[in-house]
Structure formats: structure tokens, C-alpha cells
Chains A and B, each alone.
Chain A
Amino acid sequence: MGHRHSDPFRLSHPDLEKLNRGLDRRDFLKKTAMGFGAIALNGLLASHQAQGQSLEQQILDALPRIAPKAKRVVYLFMSGGPSQFETWDYKPELTKRMGQDLPDSIRKGQRLTGMSANQAILPVAASAYGFRQYGQSQTWVSDLLPYTAQVVDELCVIKSMFTEQINHDPAITFFQTGHQLPGRPSIGSWLSYGLGSENQNLPAFIVMVSKDASKDQPLYARLWGNGFLPSEHQGVQFRSSKDPVLFLSNPEGYDGKDRQEMLDYLKQLNQLQNESWGDPEVDARIAQYEMAFKMQTSVPEVMDVSDEPQEVFDLYGPNSRDKGSFAANCLLARKLLEKDVRFVQLYHQGWDHHDSLPKNIVNQCKQTDQATAALIMDLKRRGMLEDTLVIWGGEFGRTVYSQGKLSPTGYGRDHHPKCFSMWMAGAGVKAGTTFGQTDDFSYNIIKDPVHVHDFQATMLHLMGIDHEQLVYKYQGRRFRLTDVHGKLVKGILA
């Protein structure tokens, strides 16, 4: 390291001394107000520093252990609310009732959205696409998903999901954070906090958003936000542009050779700051700088697909060479999982089909079907499916009745929170099964309802965490991903 300055020079800098010495009235009050806590904390810190483990880590290590079936999760979030009628929930009876008004005995006075509440009639719309049974499990799959149908024996299809939210943003926020209002940590952040990062050169929680989807409903970065958890646990978004992670590469004209040294000194400054202020966000900042530095080499490496053979691109489908497409993101997701990234989340928008559903959903399925199935098979042949959990699903379902005018091939469907379909595959999940059942209108659940919190609890369980134990104290309350709810869905566990 030829360009290393001598330490005393840097450490005797007047700013640092001032930082060390300065303690005005306001500081004094702040520090003494922290009083007891700080003393106790110092004691604890002293004891764990000897162990080379953060206090947080030690507390987490002491959490009860459930044997984790899954080491990684890849969550394919189909944003907008895919219709269960054209994908997984086969309702042959509906063809006979095509165009009839939805019976009150089914709707039971349920409140509808403003988009269809004023319709004179709620005409039942059967799926415009056929279904067939596939695999040894003989699971019914829509003709729109010919590739996923070929891997259906790996899936556990849950037909009885339900949520409490009827509009996109609250529903997605509810799914991702366990609460309909923004501000709580996302699932991936909870997992990052609870389990840490297996690969110390990559973040534990990585997010990618398809660029090839229609952006009918927006996504916000807070959906992968850390909420009140320390900010190093927020999801890091990888983009398809030249810089996969914004502001990660060195600025032009800077050769980066003394980057390490610069960051070391910055860390010392931050630590001094930390000693005088005790703000946990300083710790987070230190961790983030360290991670960013490591990512300067690890990210370009993992994003580089040039050494993938043609056979892999063939598997993931024609779009897989198009950077930023869902297919390309699936391929990248596999690469990230191979690197032991804990939680990879892909978002694919465009499932919000209020009108012209039969036309629009074909394209959605085309964009996602093959790559999704390919991801599963690719994980399987590498021996990774047995400890990777794959999740596919949206934030809610869609109505059995048509929003707007119904014609045999032209109809739309409104939001429907009372039942929808998802699937899970891989680690710890009963492969080749279907769980739950809806009525003939796929309007109400008649067997084994699975609430969003139940889904979250089950997911954490598969990752080896008791959802009741993973808590974070904030504003005087111990918060959980599952709030005060959530039951383990034992029926889908292998």
C-alpha cells in the first residue's frame, strides 16, 4: 500500500480532537439523559466485544432454534393482483353461469371497490382459457402457464390465500411488512436482521424490478425498506442499467486505489462519532460503507452472465438475454442464490387487469411463465431447490364477476381480497400438492384459509425462525412481522 499516510497525522486532526473533547450543555443533557441505559449498554458491550460478536447478534443467536429447512428465499412478487381464474383456481362450473348476476348468497353483502360497486349487474365471467391436469399430482393449471405446468410436481399451490386489503398499495405493504400502513420493515429486512448475511460480500436482501412489465401500478422503494430496523437491513435494488447499484462505482477520474484507506479513516471518524453520540444509525452507516466497498467487486462479478452457457439462456427463454426483463432477473436471482444471498425478491408489475383481461393476461404470463419454471428446474439440478424456498404470488385476487361489460372474450376483473392463489416450492414445502379450496365462484374460501400473516409465519418457520420470537423494540413496543397474529400453516410443510 504505497499511498498510505501515517496514522498519527490523521488522528491528531483538530476536528477529531474537537469531536472527542466537545461536550456542551446540550450534549451533556443528552448524554446524562441516556444515563442508566448507557451504563448498562457499556457493560454489555464490554462483555460481548471480547467474543467478537455484536450484542444484536448475540441476542439473535440466543433465539430458539427451529431447524431451518430453507436457507434462501426467492420471492416472485406478481404485483397488481393476478387473477386466480386464469391461472390456478379452475372453476368449470362458471361457464354454465356465464353472464348471470353474482348471487347474493355468495357475495353476502361484501363491500366492493368504487370501481365496480355501482354496476347494475355483477355478471359472472368464466375463464377465457382452458385448464388441464399436469404431472403426477394431476394439478389443474391454466393453458396460459404451459411451462410452469411442466414443473407443477415441485409446487404447492395454495388456493385459499386471503388478505384484509382491497387496494394495491396497502395490500402490497401488508404482504411485505405485515401492516397496511407504510413504515414497518419488509420481510427481507426482517430476515436480514434475524439471520444476517451468509455471504459477507453481498447484502442479505436484494430486489429486482422487471423493466418489461407494464407499470400500471407503482412500486415504492419502501416496500423493501428496513422500517425501524437498522438501515443496513434494507433491501438493495439491483437495476438493469449500466450501474446495477446506484452510486456504487467509483466516480470518473478517480482510480480508486486509496478507497480502502479512505474508508478505514472514515470508519474511525464514524466510530468516534458513535462513541460520543451512541446513535445506532452510525453503526448502520459503518456497516453500509463496508458492504458497499465489498460490493464494488462482488456485484459486477455476480451480474456478469457472460459465462453462462447458451443452454441456460434457452432454458430461461427468449427474453433472458434482455437485461432487466423478468427472465433475465430470474437468471440473476439464481446467481445470487448460488452466492448464498438470503432473500431475493423480484417484482413483476402489470397484473392489474380491470379490463381486457383475456388479452392482457396472455402477455403477462408469456413474460413470466417460462423463466419461473426455468428457475425452479435450474435450482433443482444444482441441488439448491432443497434448501431454497421459491414463492410466487400477488397481493390479492380478482373478482368472479366482470368489471364493466362482459363479452365471451372481453371482460375485466376487480380486486378481490377474500381469496386468491399463490404457490410455494422447494425447501420444506410439500411438493406436488394443492392446499385449500374456494367455492364454485372462487369468491369465498371453504377449506383451510391462509391469512397473509399465516403465510409470513410459515415462511419464517421454514427459515428457522419462530415468528413470535423475532421481535424488535421500537417506540416502546415489541414489533413482529406478523404483528400479533399468524399461525403456522402445517398443511403445506413437508
Chain B
Amino acid sequence: MIDLLGHLHPFLVHFPIGILVIACVMIWAQSIRKVETQSSISALLLLGAIAAIMASISGFLLSNSGAYEKGDVLAHQWWGIGTTLCALGLYFFQAYQKIISLILFVALAITGHLGGELTYGSNYFFARKKTVSQSKELSLSTVDTIQQKIELDTAVEVLSTAGNFPFEQEVLPILKSHCFQCHSSKKQKGKLRLDTEAFIKKGGKEGPILLAGNPLKSHLYRYLILPEDDDLHMPPEGKKQLNERQMAIIKRWIEMGAPFSESMHALSLPSNAADSMHASDIQSHALDIKQPTMTLLPLESANHADILQAKSQGLSISPFANHPAGLSLNFVNVKHLDSKAWQATKKIQNNVLQIKLTKRQDIQVEELLNFKNLQQINLEQSNIQDGDLERLGQLPHLAQLNLYGTRISDQGIKAIVAMKALKVLYIWQSRLSQEGLQALKKARPDLSIVEGKFQFSPPDTNRLKAIK
């Protein structure tokens, strides 16, 4: 209920302003035109003073609701109280009416201006008006089409390697110019502040605003791409909107796991900012940030346009399960595995962590060596030979190799043993001999070898009868 009274403040403030300005104008008119309107003036002043008192009370309640920084409200508060007293004084004492009315007028203007700054930001009055194109930029678009634009936009050079995003250079300026007005030391709409790492991680009234790695589940990004007329859209309708590049940066930052650089404290902060939040508070809202494990390759997502380009050449490309930026490449739709087919993969080569070449009889191993980060190769039933394995050994991250149904024989064992990163090997129906297999197992006890020898033991038919 008290909150509600506070919320009436923006509505109530218009009454004292309107009524008292009329009273002032009438006081001045009366002195020029010598008409007797004192009784009307008194009535207006009384009405205006009462309205000013109500506005003051509601304003005080609003300032206590926590959405505003106490220090910033102070000036507005005292000017408001002063204005109210001035109006009361004018009502009770008619001496120096003209001068006091002038003071009242000025006080009203200042109070109003201070209030405006609280709502619309500190440089609101003198800031240049934004152009129509800026504000309408995104209003017609649906989430889907914006997403497409963003995907294309993400192609912009920017962004460095995994877990190391230039937060301060790229993300912070955006927050500063578009969000701080309502979400910083000045104001904490929705109990959210975005001016320090701790506050960003803590989130707002609805909890954390970041789910590292998933922009669409992070309110910080999700609210940006809502249609502008949506109530939850940020920045609110009418405020300066982010452009596509800026949205792409935020998205990318979250995709990268929302890393903050160490020097966040370099940002100038009011000294009380840190005090107003307890350390335990931060702990309890700690983010579920997926820290990349040590074994994960530092890899940046492939350019979306390059993926589309390769797909248009008939390659099947899908995300790779074990790495957020990894791709899995399947040549199932490629008729001839010629240099043109390999050429189509040039721009995404570093992101390709798995290649599937099942049953192909036209594999050139040299081409595979261009994919430096390969972790998994499916060569089952292909034309791969013992001699090729040695070259495959040059791939430093190769962890899984499917060689079932190939001509691989005991000659290849040496090369397999030498594959340091190899963890899983499929060799069912290859030409490995029993002795060779034993030798391999002995040399590489860490290797999980799927021999594929499997036979069912015949069921005990007695047990298939119902229990009597």
C-alpha cells in the first residue's frame, strides 16, 4: 500500500506545478492589470500547497522504495519541500507577494528539473534529441528476424579467444551508454545494477540475469531482442536502443561464458557502492558459469556465414557434442571427395573437431591433416590403410578413431600406439590379428578398444515358463 502511494508521485507532481504556476501568473497579472482576484489566488495557493504536500509525501515514500540512490534524491527532495513551504507561506502571508511568487516559480522549475533528471537521466534536458531512425530501428522486427541480423552481424571481426573477452572495451561502454541511466549507482530499477561485476552477477529482482554460454536464457540479452513494444523490452520504449552490432557483442560475450576482466574496479564508482551489498549476498547469487576445463581447446565459434557457405556446398555440418565451438563434418552428401569438396571447408577448418567419412573409398589423408583440432575421425569401412595412420598421428588432439571394417592390419599398430591423445578405438572387422591386438593392448593399456566381438548366450528356456 505504501509502495502504491509512492508510485502515485509521478501523477501527483503535476498538480502543484500546474496550480501554483497559475497562481503565480494571476499574482503577476493582478499587479499589472489592477484587477482584484485575491480570493481566487488564495484558493489556488491553498489547493496548490495541499497538492505540493501530497506530492512531497508520495515522493518521500517513493525514494524509500529502494529504486533510487539516496544521495541523488536529496536535492530534489529539499527543493520540493522548499517549494511546498513557499506555497504555504504565500497563502498565509500576502506581504512581498510578487517576489515570493517569483521565488516559488523558480523553485518549482528547479524541483521539476531535478525530478526529470531522476527519471530520464542526468543529461536528459540538454542532450540532443535522438533521430527517428535510431528509435524505430528495431521496432518492426520480430525476435526471429533480429536474430538473423545478429547472426550476420556477429561476423564482425571483434572478439578474441575463449574465456577472454574484452569486456571493458566492448561490453562496458554499451552498458554505460544504454543501461547505467536506470541500472547503476543512480538508480536500480528492478533492483538491478550493471556497474560492477558483482552487481551484474547478482542480477535483479528476478534473480541472475546471466546464464553463461546461453544468451537466450540470459535476461541481459533476452530482453534486448524482445519486440520494442513488449513491456519487458530493454532499453524501454522511447529510450536509446542498442544497434545490431552492440546486441551481437552482448550475445557473443554471453556465449563466451560472460568473462569479466580483472580490471573492472578501474571503473569509477561511488564509494558506497560496494558497501551496499554484502559478500554473502553475492555468494548466494553466484552464477552457474561453465568454466572451460583445461582440456578444452581455446577455440572461437566459426563464422556463421562460413558455415552456411560450406553447407551450401552439400556438406552436413552440425555442432560437436564435446566443445561449444566445435563442429562435426559429414561428407555423406558429397559425391566426389575432390579438392573442391575440401576447399569448401577451408574457412571452418579449425572448428571441425569431428569428421565422418563412413564407407568412402576416396579419402586422401593429407586433407585431414589440415584440420588441426580434429578429435574424432570416423573412417569405418573406408579405404584407409596402415600407411595412412602414421600421418594421422600428426593430429595432436585425435582422441577417437573408428577403423572398423577397414584394411588396417598389424602393420598399423605402431602408428596407433604413437597416437598420444587417442582414447577410444573401434577396430571390429579390421585385419588386426589376435596377437597384434594383444600387443596393442599391452602397449596402450589406457586405450579403450571396442573389438565388437559379441555373441548372445542362449537363454534358459526353462525360465520362460510361467511360475506355477
| Contact (Cβ within 8 A) B426 A53 | no
Which secondary structure dominates where chain A touches chain B?
Answer: loop
- Taking Cβ atoms with an 8 Å cutoff, the residues of B that contact A are 144-145, 147-148, 150-151, 214-217, 304-305, 307-309, 311-312, 314, 316, 318-324, 328, 330, 332-333, 358, 378, 380, 402, 404, 426, 428, 450-452, 454-457, 459-460, 463-464, 466-468
The 8 tightest CB contacts between A and B, nearest first, are: A381-B452, A146-B459, A52-B312, A128-B466, A62-B147, A143-B463, A383-B426, A383-B402
| Contact (Cβ within 8 A) B144 A373 | no
Cα distance A208–B324 when bound, in Å? 35
| Contact (Cβ within 8 A) B428 A381 | yes
| Contact (Cβ within 8 A) B318 A71 | yes
Cα distance A201–B216 when bound, in Å? 34
10 A-B pairs whose Cβ atoms sit less than 8 Å apart in the complex: A44-B145, A48-B148, A61-B304, A62-B148, A150-B456, A362-B464, A381-B428, A383-B380, A466-B216, A469-B216
Q: Please tell me if A340 contacts chain B, counting CB pairs below 8 Å.
A: yes
Cα distance A142–B456 when bound, in Å? 17
| Contact (Cβ within 8 A) A370 B305 | no
Cα distance A339–B216 when bound, in Å? 33
> When A64-B216, A380-B450, A469-B216 are in contact, do A370 and B321 touch as well, CB less than 8 Å?
no
Beyond A64-B216, A143-B464, A469-B216, 17 extra complex contacts between A and B, CB < 8 Å: A61-B308, A62-B144, A62-B150, A64-B217, A65-B319, A67-B322, A69-B321, A129-B463, A144-B464, A146-B459, A195-B318, A199-B333, A200-B314, A374-B456, A377-B454, A381-B426, A464-B319
Q: Which residue on A lies nearest to B323, using beta carbons?
A: A67
Chain A positions 115-160 with a Cβ under 8 Å from a chain B Cβ: 128-130, 143-144, 146-147, 150
Q: Which residues of A contact B150 (CB under 8 A)?
A: 62
* Size range of the chain A interface in the assembly: 35 or more
Q: Please tell me if A59 contacts chain B, counting CB pairs below 8 Å.
A: yes
| Contact (Cβ within 8 A) A201 B333 | yes
**B24 CB → nearest A CB, Å:** 51
| Contact (Cβ within 8 A) B450 A383 | yes
> When A340-B332, A382-B380 are in contact, do A373 and B456 touch as well, CB less than 8 Å?
yes
| Contact (Cβ within 8 A) A198 B402 | no
- Taking Cβ atoms with an 8 Å cutoff, the residues of A that contact B are 44, 48, 51-53, 58-59, 61-62, 64-65, 67-69, 71, 128-130, 143-144, 146-147, 150, 195, 198-201, 315, 338-340, 358, 362, 370, 373-374, 377, 380-383, 387, 408-409, 428, 464, 466, 469
| Contact (Cβ within 8 A) A146 B148 | no
| Contact (Cβ within 8 A) A67 B404 | no
Contact of B312 among A53, A358, A466 (CB under 8 A): A53
| Contact (Cβ within 8 A) A409 B454 | no
| Contact (Cβ within 8 A) A381 B450 | yes
Q: Which residue on B lies nearest to A145, using beta carbons?
A: B459
Q: Which residues of B contact A61 (CB under 8 A)?
A: 151, 304, 307-308
Interface hub of A143, A200, A338 (most chain B Cβ within 10 A):
A143
Q: Which residues of B contact A200 (CB under 8 A)?
A: 314, 333
| Contact (Cβ within 8 A) B324 A67 | yes
Q: Which residues of B contact A198 (CB under 8 A)?
A: 316, 318, 330, 332
**B429 CB → nearest A CB, Å:** 8
Contact of B319 among A44, A53, A67, A373 (CB under 8 A): A67
Interface hub of A65, A150, A200, A339 (most chain B Cβ within 10 A):
A65
| Contact (Cβ within 8 A) B404 A340 | no
Q: Which residue on A lies nearest to B458, using beta carbons?
A: A146
Q: Which residues of A contact B148 (CB under 8 A)?
A: 48, 58-59, 62
Q: Which residue on A lies nearest to B455, using beta carbons?
A: A315
Contact of A382 among B323, B426, B460 (CB under 8 A): B426
| Contact (Cβ within 8 A) A52 B308 | yes
| Contact (Cβ within 8 A) B316 A340 | yes
| Contact (Cβ within 8 A) B428 A382 | yes
Cα distance A206–B467 when bound, in Å? 40
Contact of B467 among A129, A147, A315 (CB under 8 A): A129
Cα distance A290–B281 when bound, in Å? 60
Contact of B466 among A338, A409, A464 (CB under 8 A): A409
Interface hub of A61, A199, A370 (most chain B Cβ within 10 A):
A61
Q: Which residues of A contact B147 (CB under 8 A)?
A: 59, 62
Q: Which residues of B contact A51 (CB under 8 A)?
A: 305, 308-309, 312
Q: Which residue on A lies nearest to B333, using beta carbons?
A: A200
Q: Which residue on A lies nearest to B312, using beta carbons?
A: A52
Cα distance A53–B144 when bound, in Å? 15
**B461 CB → nearest A CB, Å:** 9
| Contact (Cβ within 8 A) A146 B321 | no
Q: Which residues of B contact A59 (CB under 8 A)?
A: 144, 147-148
**B66 CB → nearest A CB, Å:** 32
Q: Which residues of A contact B311 (CB under 8 A)?
A: 53
Q: Which residue on A lies nearest to B214, using beta carbons?
A: A64
Cα distance A71–B356 when bound, in Å? 12
Q: Which residue on B lies nearest to A52, using beta carbons?
A: B312
Cα distance A62–B322 when bound, in Å? 20
Q: Which residues of A contact B319 (CB under 8 A)?
A: 65, 67-68, 464
Q: Which residues of B contact A373 (CB under 8 A)?
A: 456
Cα distance A320–B450 when bound, in Å? 25
Q: Which residues of B contact A464 (CB under 8 A)?
A: 318-319
Cα distance A64–B221 when bound, in Å? 12
Q: Which residue on A lies nearest to B215, using beta carbons?
A: A64
**A192 CB → nearest B CB, Å:** 14
Q: Which residues of B contact A129 (CB under 8 A)?
A: 463-464, 466-467
Cα distance A143–B311 when bound, in Å? 49
Q: Which residues of B contact A144 (CB under 8 A)?
A: 464
**B456 CB → nearest A CB, Å:** 6
**A386 CB → nearest B CB, Å:** 8
Q: Which residues of B contact A380 (CB under 8 A)?
A: 450, 452, 454
| Contact (Cβ within 8 A) A315 B456 | yes
Contact of A150 among B320, B321, B404, B457 (CB under 8 A): B457
Q: Which residue on B lies nearest to A378, using beta carbons?
A: B454
Cα distance A69–B354 when bound, in Å? 13
> When A59-B148, A67-B324, A68-B321 are in contact, do A381 and B333 touch as well, CB less than 8 Å?
no
Q: Which residues of B contact A362 (CB under 8 A)?
A: 464
| Contact (Cβ within 8 A) B466 A68 | no
Q: Which residues of A contact B428 (CB under 8 A)?
A: 381-382
| Contact (Cβ within 8 A) A146 B332 | no
Q: Which residues of A contact B216 (CB under 8 A)?
A: 64, 466, 469
Q: Which residues of A contact B330 (CB under 8 A)?
A: 198, 340
Q: Which residue on B lies nearest to A369, using beta carbons?
A: B459
Q: Which residues of B contact A52 (CB under 8 A)?
A: 308, 312
Q: Which residue on B lies nearest to A128, using beta carbons?
A: B466
Q: Which residues of B contact A195 (CB under 8 A)?
A: 318
Q: Which residue on B lies nearest to A464, using beta carbons?
A: B319
Cα distance A69–B320 when bound, in Å? 8
| Contact (Cβ within 8 A) B308 A53 | yes
Cα distance A339–B307 when bound, in Å? 22
Q: Which residue on B lies nearest to A366, using beta carbons?
A: B464
